[in-house]
Amino acid sequence: MSDENDAFPINEKEVMEYYGYSGSFGRLKMKLKFLRSWILHSLSYSSPSSNFSIQMQKARGVKIGKNCHFNPYVLIDLIYPQMVEIGNNVTLGSNSMIFAHSNPSANLFLKQGEFPRKISKVKIKSGAVINPGAIIIAGVTVGENSIISPRSVVTQDIPDYCIAIGNPARVVKKINH
């Protein structure tokens, strides 16, 4: 029995359209793609080896520069990893999260109203430090050599050479260079 409030078919259709899949074979390809991505994410997520984590994230499609350091328990968007770009010499603290999309997945009223699925690139420029527990939201750029304080939620761009704290994160200091 179909439920007219079930958003799952709409969510699946949106993701399939984004990736250019259609029909049952496309649905199978999408599920295999996400299974592969989830396995790579799972291997990366709890690994104590930064280099291994980075290799697994790159295999998922995340663009990552040189000399980066990922602590364990970093979550990078599970549906659109290729929309995340990380520069050189970036540090990601434990339990930090980077999302390239937002979606009121189960709420058709919001989804079909003012809050549809949003897919937007995230860029973390070279030298940035994302401290433990920080959350970076879709469409945000974190500036070069900027620091995001622990548990901050970054909802808008942070300029180069800045320290940002809070929820929502706000710039509290410029770093002299």
Residue (of 7, 45, 37, 4) closest to 19 by Cα position:
37
Which whole-number Å values give the CA distances from 45 to 13, 92, 103, in the listed order? 28, 12, 23
Q: Is 3 a domain residue?
A: no
Residue 33 lies in a domain: yes
Q: What is the residue range of 76's domain? A: 8-174
* 93 lies in some domain: yes
Query: Does residue 100 belong to any structural domain of this protein?
Result: yes
CA angle 61, 159, 133 (to 5 degrees): 60
The pLDDT of residue 5 is 74
Residue 1 lies in a domain: no
Q: How many domains does the chain have?
A: 1
Structure tokens belonging to residue 99: 């999302």
pTM score > 0.85 for this model? yes
The CATH number assigned to the domain holding 72 equals 2.160.10.10
pLDDT level of residue 1 (50, 70, 90 thresholds): very low
pLDDT tens track for 43-62: 999 999 999 999 999 999 99
